[in-house]
Structures are given as structure tokens and as C-alpha cells.
Structure 1
Amino acid sequence: MSLPAFTPLAAARRPTLLIVGCGDVGLRVLPLVQPAWRVLALTSSPARAPELRALGAIPLIGNLDEPVTLGRLGGLADAVLHLAPPPLQGRRDPRTQALLRALARGGRVQRLVYGSTSGVYGDAGGAFFDETRAVAPGTERAQRRVDAEAQLRWFGRRTGARVTVLRIPGIYASNRLGGHPRERLQRGTAVLAREDDVYTNHIHADDLARACVAALYRGRPQRVLHASDDTQLTMGDYFDLAADLCGLPRPPRITRAVAAQTLSPMLMSFMSESRRLDNRRLKDELRLKLRYPTVGEGLRRG
């Protein structure tokens, strides 16, 4: 992926990128932005500092749940990649609020990319749609993301920072903890019967990391994009495909009524929303060529 040079207001120096929430995807971003960027990584765990330093990032100790620890963030970075999730409860995202307050005090940030979720749309009945569709969050988890998106876009309008929101579906990769269907197949977790099944969307973790970097360079101001691949499969067909590729038995199919009695509320929430995401903005505006355009290719190769 060839990207143009980033030109901050204070030219003639290497720009600084702050990664907030430097988990699996953030770690995949690191080698993509070095050595062009000086990279800072915010972590609430001092124990992670050696790992981040070894990977080329400068660790900063701070906690989004403790705003007093974020005071010095504002003047440190030209760009921010915000991948930290909201809290586990409530309809608001106070973590994003604390981060933006800290960033606003410095007035340096020119670009901000946020990793949101496609869950903000709620159930679309299997419809295929682009980013102009109105959000309709069906869970508090999704409502927290809608709140974060609103805060970020307001921050962009108020400060002039170029904010890009990536709405992300299910992330997978063979070396991602909890991110490969093999684990669920080995547990024998059921999927819905064909008449009750839902469409689901996916992105390989490596392609998501590349989308984050492309958005730092090419994202339009206050723009939303679907960070999704080209796959249009129902959830059951996805796990059938994964089972065949892994040499495992296909999962049992059960009705929605049986699923409601036997599966966890969290799993049922994912099985209650059906949508297909149009990813043309990702490919046209960010000019991103997916390495794994379908889950079939991703599961076979990576």
C-alpha cells in the first residue's frame, strides 16, 4: 500500500501518531507506520511498556477511566488512532469524552481515526446499504459507540481536526486471540437454521490495520466508512465454510426459538441483527486494495 507523505502544520519534522487502545489491531498498525512516524502508545498497564517499546512505540502510562492521568496528551501528537472500547455498561462513552478533552487542551491533533462498530445500525433485515443509512442501535453496547461517534465528529468540527470513523464488523485472523472461527467450531456451538439465519460481515485483522493507516492519510473530514470485506454470507454459511476449511464438523443448526433457550444473551444479540455492508468508500476513497477480499481467502491464507 503506497501512501503519500503526511505533512503536518509543523513541517520539517517526523509527525507523531498516538495509538489509544494498542491491542491486536494497534500492534498490527505499528510496522505499517514506522519509520515514517514517531509512535506513542497509551496503555493503562505499566507491564506492557517493555513490549510496546520493543516494537518501536514509546509507551505512555494513562487510563481513560482516570482523566487526571491524561493531562499531557494534548500537545504530543499530530494524529490519533483511537481503538479503545467504551466501558461495559451505560449508554455513553466517558472514555472517549476524557480522551477528547485531553486532546483539545493541546490543539495539535490534525487527524483522528476511530474504530467503531457496524453494530450501530442494529438489525437491518439483511439489507445491503452504504454509510448514509441512519444508525439504529439495538443494544446499549451499540449505543455507547453511537455516543462516541457523535463526540468525535463534534470534536472534528470544533477543532478542525479531520475525523474518520471506521465502522468495523467481525474481525478475524488465524493468530488473533478469540478471532478465528475454529475455536467456536471446536466447542460445537450451534448456528441458526437457514430459515432463521442472519447475514454477517467480516474483516481480516491485517486488512483492518491497513485501513486504519489509509484513513490517517486519505480519510475525508468527518467521514464514516465501512471497514468490511466483500463477503456476503449468512452466519451459518460462514461457519460451514470455516469448518470445511479447518477439517472440522459443521456446526449443528437450530431454530431461533431453541437458540433463545440455549445460547448466551450476548451470542443471541449477534444472531438477532442481519445486514450487508457496502464497502465502496473504503476501496474508492481510501484506495485500499484488500489482501483478503473474502473470508474464504482469509481463512485459507491467513
Structure 2
Amino acid sequence: MTKTLLSFGHGYSARALARRLVPQGWTIYGTTRNPDRADNLRAEGVTPILWPDGDLSTAFDTATHLLISAGPDAKGDPVLNLYRDRIAAIAPRLEWAGYLSTTGVYGDHRGGWVTEDTPLTPSTRRGQMRVDAETAWRAIPGLPLHIFRLAGIYGPGRGPFEKVRQGTARRIVKPGQVFSRIHVDDIAQVLEASIRQPNPGAAYNVCDNDPAPPQDVIGYAAGLLGLPVPPEVPFDEAGMTPMARSFYAESKRVDNTRIKQELGVSLIYPDYRSGLKALLEATGDA
């Protein structure tokens, strides 16, 4: 039987998954707000559907799998706001549904470890909206839902190298601050592994093995490029935007044991050093 994925908000992570599924004969429908992106999606073997006005009838009628990458806003989850009843109607026949959330749902743990069983206590409005969205998706009867809480995403086109080259990278230092990260190719393999062995109701932390201070990552990238390490800038003097500062409001180490033990995942890039080195070797840039 042909597998068909309906992918809402078919962006960076979903496209990485599609690169794995399309060669296996999957049919993939991906929504996008940007008409200019449609040709790129077609070239990747994905049928683009413009959001929110495109015709989703065929995708809904044939979908065996559902992926939601679109994030919530002040009005709630955009997919459920438009299609809650339609999704509820097809939920019992779906083989798998995945919701891409964020580790921001755990809030601040002052550098301590969190697992999927850690209570959800977000400290930002953005994190709370994700908790609300997770709850709303879980409330759909019969939906074989899997939640993936993603750490900071990097990969081709999303690395620190360009800012280091341009001299605009900053090593902002806040004592005790650590972030977890994940390469987009590892997100894709976690999703594929879950599709192959569904466990409805499960939540998974998707991150690498090495939570690290952000200034260490910038320093390592500079070293790979053979450029001077940018000077340290104290957090209180950094003059950051409110959005940028909000990321520093939380410090935690995210445990990824479940994706390894339950899904059998062996990370392609187990730490930022291996990931950044591979990016540079593959493209000469990132």
C-alpha cells in the first residue's frame, strides 16, 4: 500500500524527512505559505499546497500519515483552527501522526537535566503556546499522535559559519547557561524511526548528546574556519532583542535516552563538533 504523508508547515525539518521518504516511494503533500517555494518542493518530489487557501481534499482523502510542523500563535494552533473536524474524522484510519514541538515546554531548570517525564513548566509565552498546542492535539480522539520536542536546530544553511566570517558572531556569556541542539538530519531519522515503529501517545526529546554553552559553539566554529575567536560579551551588556534574550531565560540539559532505547536511533551527529565539522566539509559553508 502506498504511504501518503500530509505535512502541515512543510519547512526545514519536514523537508529533511521528505528526502528520506520520497526515494522509498512515498507520496507527500506539503503546505507552504510561500508561492515562490512551490517549485522547490516539486523538485524535491513533494506536491505543494498553498496555505491556507489551497485544496487539501485529495491529501486528506489519501493520507496515511500526518506531520505538523506549523507553530502556534496567539490564536492557537493554525492547523486545528482550520481543520480540527476534518482531522478528527480521519484520525482513526491514520497509521501515525507527529507533532513537532520544542524543549521550551520544560521551562528553566538552571542547567539541570530534563526527560520526557519532566513536568511542563514553560517560562516564556512561546513555550506556553506550545504546551497548549500539545494538549489540543492530544485531545483529538483516536489520533495516533507522537510528540517530538526539538532542541535548537542547525544544519545546512543554519550554521554559525557565515556570522563568524562576517565578524558579526558574538560569544555571549551568561554563567551557567547551556543549550541542547540537534542536526536536522538527525531529526529526520528520528521521525522515520518513529514512523516505522509507532507508539501513539509517546513524546520524544530530540537532541544530541552534548548540551553546551552557546559561546563554545561559536568558538569552535571560528577554530574550524581558522579565524579569530570572537571576544566574550557579558549577557547583561549584549544589547539583545527581546526574542534573543528570551532564549537565555532558560537553561537546561535535555536527555535523549528514549530515542536511542525505544527507537534504536544512533545519532549521525552526536555533538555540535561532529555536526559543524561535517557541514563545513560538505559545503565549505553553512
What's the TM-score, normalizing by structure 2?
0.87
CA RMSD, 1 decimal: 2.2
Does the C-alpha gap of structure 1 residues 69 and 249 become closer, same or farther in structure 2, counting only changes over 3 Å? same
CA distance in 2 between partners of 1:162 and 1:218 (Å): 12
Does the C-alpha gap of structure 1 residues 110 and 99 become closer, same or farther in structure 2, counting only changes over 3 Å? farther
Unaligned runs of 5+ in 2: 280-286
Quote the residue 1:109 is aligned against. Answer: 94
Please state if 1:143 is matched with 2:125.
no
CA distance in 2 between partners of 1:113 and 1:22 (Å): 13
Quote the residue 1:222 is aligned against. Answer: 201
CA distance in 2 between partners of 1:103 and 1:224 (Å): 20
Q: Secondary structure at the match of 1:231?
A: coil
Cα contact 2:169–2:218 (8 A) shared by 1? no
Quote the residue 2:284 is aligned against. Answer: none
CA distance in 2 between partners of 1:248 and 1:148 (Å): 43
Out of 99, 110, 133, the position equivalent to 2:118 is 133
Quote the residue 1:6 is aligned against. Answer: none
- Greater Cα offset, 54-63 or 44-53: 44-53
CA distance in 1 between partners of 2:33 and 2:212 (Å): 38
Q: Secondary structure at the match of 1:211?
A: helix
Quote the residue 1:38 is aligned against. Answer: 27
Deviations 1:153-181 (A, max 9, x none): 122xx12x3211110111111x22xx111
Please state if 1:163 is matched with 2:145.
yes
Per the TM alignment, residue 294 of structure 1 is displaced from its structure 2 partner at its CA by 0.8
CA distance in 1 between partners of 2:117 and 2:248 (Å): 24
Out of 256, 269, 281, the position equivalent to 2:258 is 281
Cα contact 2:8–2:79 (8 A) shared by 1? no
Per the TM alignment, residue 287 of structure 1 is displaced from its structure 2 partner at its CA by 1.1
Per the TM alignment, residue 292 of structure 1 is displaced from its structure 2 partner at its CA by 0.6
Quote the residue 1:10 is aligned against. Answer: none
Please state if 1:208 is matched with 2:208.
no
Identity %: 32
Unaligned runs of 5+ in 1: 1-12
Out of 62, 81, 86, the position equivalent to 1:76 is 62
Per the TM alignment, residue 73 of structure 1 is displaced from its structure 2 partner at its CA by 4.9
Cα contact 1:227–1:279 (8 A) shared by 2? yes
1:82 aligned partner, one-letter code: I
Per the TM alignment, residue 95 of structure 1 is displaced from its structure 2 partner at its CA by 3.4
Per the TM alignment, residue 48 of structure 1 is displaced from its structure 2 partner at its CA by 3.2
Deviations 1:74-122 (A, max 9, x none): 43301111112223xx273243443433322334323101111111112
Total equivalences in the alignment: 276
**Runs of 4 or more above 6 Å deviation:** none
Does the C-alpha gap of structure 1 residues 91 and 169 become closer, same or farther in structure 2, counting only changes over 3 Å? farther
